[in-house]
Each structure stands twice: as structure tokens, then as C-alpha cells.
Structure 1
Amino acid sequence: MAESATAHRSEESLMLGGMARWDGIDFFGARYMSTAYRKRSGEIFVRVDPVSVWRPENLTVRRISGWPIIRSFFFWGQLLVQVGGSVWTLAYFVGSIAALWLIVRVLELGSGLGSLGGFLGFLADFPMLPLLVLFFAAMKLTATGRYHGAEHKAVAAYEKYGEVTMEKARASSRIHPRCGTNILIYIVIAAALEPIVPWWWYSIAQFILISELWFTFGRSRPSIAVGNLLQRYFTTSEPTSRELEVAVASINRLLEAEGGDPSVEIGTRVRIPARY
């Protein structure tokens, strides 16, 4: 199935999202999400589950949810629900928070080490810098970056051709304008302000700042250009056939579920024959 053209564009194309992991990919559609991973044995497994994100149907509520500031609460709330819907995604999120806390604690403890302490103290005030270095290293030196590239290629193939095959995905770009990498610049801006903003509640308010900057400037050419640069050199790598096969299998399974294919067993892990 991973090799064949099983997913065709419906009357209205889906807006698909995804998240790469070290061993696979999560894809998110309008009603369902797919979780795919490759075991060490080479076997590919895909599971499709309903998306638990709440979307307002009332026209008035929908308009209010698009107002500045309020839209940020909806954005982060939906993100938390989405993260909680996948065990692997939740583990990745919790791990990132734990890594940030650990880095800050280590840097704070080292801030009293003579001349080196001043530098470590600076990094403790701006923990986003060492965290970004570790994040970029993990993306480029592990399979996560290749799965991230495979995720983009699969989505790009669907958006361009209306179907996803190995050939079409391989020919597609690993750089995508809707990638979450594009929000990194706004995270850095918000994090840089934290040491100089005296308000204790800024640790919460910065999330609103990040999303509002994203909503306001995220689709601008400079923002997309910076995001594309980060994707090309830091957060994605060219996938091998092994990562691409997982992405193709996952997205096709998701599209089948979104299209109402009765053969898709929701909530059941399915083994997909692997060729690579």
C-alpha cells in the first residue's frame, strides 16, 4: 500500500499537518490522525485515531475565536489537546520541557565558576540559545530530521498531485511554508525579552506574544524565508527510502480514513508491508 497511489484528492483538499519523531511520523487531518513508526526489524506499523481537537461550529463563536489575544488561547488550547492525543507527541513535548528545565538548572549551578561563570550565567538568562543548539543537532544528526523531511515531502506530494506515491513524494520538496519551524524566530524573540521584562507573569504572557507574532507576520515573505532557511540547513534532512516509505504509508492511511474508506480500522494498529 505504501507504494501505490491509494489516496486521491477529494472535492475539497484537506489541510494536513504533521510531526516527525525519531522513529516515525504523526499526521493530522480534519477528523483523524495517523501515527506511524518503523521497528528495528524494519516493519512499519500505522494506527489511525479520531482527532480530539474541538473546533467551534457556531458562527459567532468562530468569529470571536479569531480575535487577537483570544485566538491565542484557542491556538495553545488546541495544541495541548492535539499533543495529548498522541502518546509519542506528548512524550516529546514533556521531554523538551524537562530538557529546558535541566539546562537552566545546570547553567545556574555553573554561574559561580569564576570567569566561566559569567558566560554560563548569561546562558542561564537566555536558555533558548543552548536549547536551540541541542535541538538543531538532534534534528540533523538523528533520523528525526530525515523523518521531518519525509513528512514535508508527503504533504507536498498530496498538495501538488492529489495522491501520494513513493515517486511523487521523492520528487517533492522537503521545505514547506506551513512548517512549525517557521514559528521558531518568534519563540526566540519572546525568549530574548524574558530576562529584561520584570513582570513575573511574562513567562505565561510570552506564549500569547509568540502566537500573536505568528498570526500577524507568519505568512509574510520575510517570515517564510527565514523559516525555509532554518528548514533547509537545521531542521530537515533529505530522507532515505526508509523514512519516506513510513511517511507515504502513514499519510495514505490517514487519507483513506478521511475519505470514509470502511477498510480502515480506527484505533487498531496495522502492519504495513515494507520494501526498504
Structure 2
Amino acid sequence: MAENNSCAFRTSIGGQALIEGILMRGPEKQAIVVRDHEGNLVEKVEELHLIKERHPFLGWPLVRGTVNFLDSMVKGVKALMYSADFYPEDEAAKPSKFDLWLEKHLSSKKLEAMLVAVATVVGVGMSLLLFLVLPTFITGGILHFFPGFPLWGRNVVEGVLKIIIFMIYLVACSKMKDIYRVFQYHGAEHKTIFCYEAGLPLTVENVRIQPRHHPRCGTSFLFVVIFVSILISSAVFGIWPITNVWLRTLVHLVLLPLVVGITYEFNRWVGRSSSGLAKALTAPGMWMQNFTTNEPEDSMIECAIRSLELVLPNEKGQDAW
């Protein structure tokens, strides 16, 4: 496999794997490309209107991280739902009474907005429960039997549990049959972006030989979020000792926007840096992509190439990272 350590260009274009498709997001547009049952590529392109254009302060460093994360999550959920419509689980299944009631009382747009909102809240809530609340409560339960346990030790145990739970989550997802193909599309997305950054023609042959691990991947982002949260919470609890589980959980939640903001700025730096330090700091997150990216089929690469082509800016270099 080719190593792409010296990219000719670093792009801000990023993507997300979908069900039999890919979402690519550029500086001006986002594109969803899905391969349907007949094997045809179905394209959907939308103009992007960033909230920071109306509210410039939301584009400030440390603030923009949380804003962009939530915006990407909402758009990602919409794209995932769009791709899922091409592959319903059971076409013969009859809609439930609740489904019929929703269709009767809500317009398609309102129904979609409600489903996206619910899915986003559930997704964020599950992430907070797994990677923030659960480690805090498990640590509190264990250390309840060790009243003299030092506070710095509590922080270490809590941090280790966060990483362990994250690893279990990644491994469990990677073992799911249906998710395997989604992770193949994830690999296709990374390889295509690498090919574009290297200045090579976007062909299946050129994309196929690229690495499938990218430093700006969402997997790496989540790992860094966990790691940064460990550092910040350790510093805060070192200054303000808290042992009450509920209060510690509340402090974690309050600190979360700062954690996401710092992680976003970190990702921006490593995304455009080729230094040894940047490579060393991103190594753990890159390794974890072994669980969330798989080698893609050529048909998946074709899908990734098309989605990238659709979001390329009119002016060359406008998407520079």
C-alpha cells in the first residue's frame, strides 16, 4: 500500500460513510452519492449555508468546534436516513399504527425534521452515556469500597475506563455484518481524499493504492475528545476536588464544549502538519481506524470519487485546509 506522507495539498473536504453510499462535504456544497439496487449511482447535491455567515462569533476558535460538530452530526443523520431509504429492512412489512398517525398528522418535512432531531439527541445522549456518564458511575461504584483512594487515582481509573469502553464499542461495531460494508465505504472515502490531496487523477486505480487511515477521521476525533476530556477533567478536579458522582458528571457535561473545541483545533493542526510530533500524537487514533475502516471494493471507490467530484470548488485551492 502506498504511503502518502507528503501530500501536495491538504483539503478541508471531508466525508462520511453511509448505507451503500458516501456523503462528501466541501466548502460550498455537500453531495450524497448512493448506489441503488440496480447498481446505479444516485446523486444529491446541496448548497451549504454555514451558520457562522450569519453569526461570525460562532466561527471563533474553540467556539467553532462544537458548532461544526453539531452541524455535521445533523447533516450526517439526514444523509444516513436518505441512504437508508434505498435499502428498507423489510419492504413487505406493514407500517405500525404510530407510523400511520405520524404520516397523517405531520407533513413529510416536519416528520423528517422530527426524526432527525430525535436521532441526533439519541446519538449524542448515547455517546454521553457510554463515554462520560458510565465511566464516572462505574468508578464511583468501585471506589465506594476504597474511601481513602487518592483523587488523582480516581481520575486515572475514570480515564482508563473511558478508553476501554471506547475500544469495546469500536470492536463490537466492527464485528457487525451490516456495518462491515459501511466501514468499507469509510475506507473508500479516506483513500479518495488522499488521492485528491496527492494531486493524482481521481481514478479507481490511483485511489485503490492510497492508505485508508486519515488523520482527520471522525474515529481519531472521538479518541482525542476522550483523551482531552481526561486531561482537562484531571486538571479541574485537581484544583477543585470532587468525589460526588452526580456532581462529577455535571462538571464533565459543563466542560464538554471546551473539550470539543480544543479537539477541533487540534485536528485542524494535525490535519495540515507533517511534523513528527503531529504523527506521534495522531498515532493512537490512526491505529483505532483499523476497526472502523475496511478495504473497499472498486464500486465503492467509484462512489467516493463521484461524491468528491461533486463538491470540488470552482476556484482551485478554495478548499485548502
TM-score by length of 1: 0.66
- Matches of 1:13 and 1:100 in 2, distance apart? 30
- Matches of 1:244 and 1:36 in 2, distance apart? 11
- 2:172 aligned residue (126, 137, 145): 137
TM-score by length of 2: 0.58
- Are 2:62 and 2:264, in contact at CA under 8 Å, matched by a contact in 1? no
- 2:69 aligned residue (79, 82, 86): 79
Deviation at 1:128, TM superposition (A): 6.5
- Are 2:63 and 2:261, in contact at CA under 8 Å, matched by a contact in 1? no
Structure 2 counterpart of 1:133, which letter? I
- Equivalence for 1:226: 284
Deviation at 1:18, TM superposition (A): 0.9
- Matches of 2:166 and 2:282 in 1, distance apart? 22
- 1:202 aligned residue (252, 260, 279): 252
TM alignment of 1:52-131, pairs within 5 A: 52-55=49-52, 65=59, 71-86=61-76, 87-88=78-79, 93-94=120-121, 96-100=123-127, 126=161, 129-130=164-165
Does 1:239 pair with 2:274?
no
Deviation at 1:237, TM superposition (A): 0.9
- Matches of 1:246 and 1:95 in 2, distance apart? 29
CA RMSD of aligned residues (A): 4.2
- Matches of 1:13 and 1:127 in 2, distance apart? 31
CA gap 1:239/1:98 in 2 versus in 1, 3 angstroms: same
- Matches of 2:255 and 2:16 in 1, distance apart? 25
- 1:16 aligned residue (1, 13, 18): 13
Deviation at 1:162, TM superposition (A): 4.6
- Matches of 2:201 and 2:27 in 1, distance apart? 17
- Are 1:53 and 1:78, in contact at CA under 8 Å, matched by a contact in 2? no
Structure 1 counterpart of 2:207, which letter? A
Does 1:29 pair with 2:87?
no
Deviation at 1:242, TM superposition (A): 2.6
- Are 1:28 and 1:34, in contact at CA under 8 Å, matched by a contact in 2? yes
CA gap 1:13/1:135 in 2 versus in 1, 3 angstroms: closer
Structure 1 counterpart of 2:68, which letter? Q
- Equivalence for 1:155: 193
Deviation at 1:35, TM superposition (A): 0.9
Does 1:146 pair with 2:153?
no
- Are 2:229 and 2:259, in contact at CA under 8 Å, matched by a contact in 1? no
- SS of equivalent to 1:174: coil
- Matches of 2:36 and 2:229 in 1, distance apart? 37
- SS of equivalent to 2:42: strand
- Are 2:225 and 2:263, in contact at CA under 8 Å, matched by a contact in 1? no
Does 1:187 pair with 2:225?
yes
- Are 1:126 and 1:191, in contact at CA under 8 Å, matched by a contact in 2? no
- SS of equivalent to 1:235: coil
- Matches of 2:283 and 2:163 in 1, distance apart? 21
- SS of equivalent to 1:52: coil
- Matches of 1:13 and 1:57 in 2, distance apart? 27
Give deviations 1:114-146, integer Å, cap 9, x for gaps.
Answer: x9xx9xxx99x9566445423343246421211
**Gaps in structure 1 of 5+ consecutive residues:** 1-11, 261-276
- Are 2:62 and 2:262, in contact at CA under 8 Å, matched by a contact in 1? yes
- Matches of 1:169 and 1:93 in 2, distance apart? 32
**Gaps in structure 2 of 5+ consecutive residues:** 1-8, 81-115, 146-156, 243-247, 271-277, 316-321
- 2:202 aligned residue (131, 141, 164): 164
CA gap 1:47/1:164 in 2 versus in 1, 3 angstroms: same
- Equivalence for 1:39: 36
